[in-house]
Structure 1
């Protein structure tokens, strides 16, 4: 059986010649001729180093042969796991693994400890920095909110925000001085603390006020915007004639009918009165001033009477705006006096009689 390459049998080296001792066969000067060594069986550099004879001086002790392999540092690897220096050290076979010495191991351990401590310090610094920024943000937000609340509270109770002036806008039939006098009880109150319920109770005494709105103007003024009731006609009553609005609220009473307003022949609160009021409100001002009478027995039977005796058959309150436009066009083309009756109960097919 053939031995693998590198494991061929090699004869042991001959010891050096000692004076007074005969040399072994095969030594220098011997007549025997050594056999030629095959080329493939030549010893390697490492084997040659191990088989080289030790030469000493006479009387000097022979040193022990080196049994341990030379020590080399561990091979470094890159990020991909490849060996940084794949070439073996000189004199070593490709399969040789260097031995890590205790000093190198301690040095590597110290380096790893320093790297870990540095990493931990960076992590602590990053975590504490983030916590510090979060804490600063919360403190700033809470401080801003507290300052805003303090400003609002201080402004609400500060004498600088006390009510000193009351302005009334939109009052025509209602005297503005009476409205201001009714609200004098709110003077001196901070604007945010004005009692709107008390304001409503004070203004409810004026029946001509249909609606209102209160607007604050710092530092010490409120504006009361009034929407008055609009009269639509006159109805007879026990006391004479009452001027009423679309809701039937009496605006003014007198012994004689008020000029410029038609007489409504319908009971207040009935469906006929509601329909008549809706029709009057839909008419333009030019036609409304010509009305003399508005009759509504039911909500679907509204009839108007114009100056000059012409009648307008209106019908129901549906499409009142459209009917008003058609009536205005008919009155322009056919004025009152030429026509006795305008029938706009069906506005798409109006009839003149």
Structure 2
């Protein structure tokens, strides 16, 4: 049996029924939060998340850069420290070298035999009191030029207060007779001294072309090649051309036909052997112009 249908009661004319919302309206705080929150993309990720990820990535990148460059920075600091230390050391050394702490107090002359070392020291006394780094080479050269026996020299500073002057003397090869007397010369023709009488132990050089000629230079080379034992016996040297140098030995007047100055050390050895085989007092002439076949006459 069916229920009887009940018809709704009709609203009075001119009256509207109230509307009941299905969802509660948002509060004011929720409205402000919604306005401040960036909209999400399709995958639900907001801009704030993107910013945070970007910031984290930059931090990670900076950390990686620092990690990979820490060795380079450490090396740079080491080099800067070393460079600073070297600069300080160099400046300190230079400052001390040019200060009175390293002033010259003593000049030591070595290598002299014929030259008076005291005279050389006295000639260089004006350098005493000068810092070793400021020693005037040109003034030392000007002082040593006044000594003809000085062929060359070297200077050696020995801190804190010493200067060593090493001298190489000229080697006299004989005397040349001139109107002024007997002049001692070396192989280059430099005049070393002049005396009225012939000095003992120096052979007389007879070269008509003079001390600046090729024959004289050849004679000088021969004399410098002779060992001391033979040179001490030579009393005269003559040459008219560079190829006919002739020596005279001792009181016997024995002649040595030398020839040119070529191969002089070898000729000197051959002559020594010939003199041992036949002494000068028993020999009129030695011929070493060809060292392969020395001749005794």
Residue in 2 aligned with 1:155?
96
Match of 1:188 among 109, 129, 147: 129
The structural deviation recorded for 1:339 is 2.2
Could you state the TM-score of these two structures normalised by the residue count of structure 1? 0.66
CA contact (8 A) 2:172 2:186 kept: yes
Pairwise CA RMSD of aligned residues?
2.6
Match of 1:237 among 161, 170, 178: 178
- What is the number of equivalent residue pairs in this alignment? 254
Residue in 2 aligned with 1:316?
260
Residue in 1 aligned with 2:220?
277
Residue in 1 aligned with 2:74?
133
Match of 1:179 among 108, 116, 120: 120
Q: Deviations over 1:240-268 (max 9, x none)?
A: 11121112222222222111111110121
5 Å matches for 1:100-111?
A: none
d(CA) in 2 for partners of 1:244 and 1:131?
70
Q: Which has the larger radius of gyration?
A: 1
5 Å matches for 1:48-197?
A: 116-117=57-58, 119-126=60-67, 129-130=70-71, 132-197=73-138
CA contact (8 A) 2:98 2:132 kept: no
Match of 1:214 among 155, 177, 182: 155
The structural deviation recorded for 1:210 is 1.1
SS at match of 1:261: coil
The structural deviation recorded for 1:105 is 11
SS at match of 2:130: coil
d(CA) in 2 for partners of 1:323 and 1:135?
68
SS at match of 2:281: coil
Residue 289, structure 1, aligned to residue 260, structure 2: no
SS at match of 1:337: helix
Runs of 4+ in 1 over 4 A off after TM superposition: 101-106, 108-115
The structural deviation recorded for 1:234 is 1.2
Highest relative contact order (Cα 8 Å, sep 6+), 1 or 2? 2
SS at match of 1:305: strand
Q: Deviations over 1:252-302 (max 9, x none)?
A: 222221111111101211111111111111111111111111111010111
Match of 1:331 among 251, 275, 281: 275
d(CA) in 2 for partners of 1:264 and 1:214?
35
d(CA) in 2 for partners of 1:165 and 1:201?
19
5 Å matches for 1:30-45?
A: none
Structure 2 residues not aligned, in runs of 5+: 1-41
Residue in 1 aligned with 2:211?
268
SS at match of 2:141: helix
CA contact (8 A) 2:246 2:258 kept: yes
Residue 304, structure 1, aligned to residue 273, structure 2: no
d(CA) in 1 for partners of 2:253 and 2:170?
29
Residue in 1 aligned with 2:200?
259
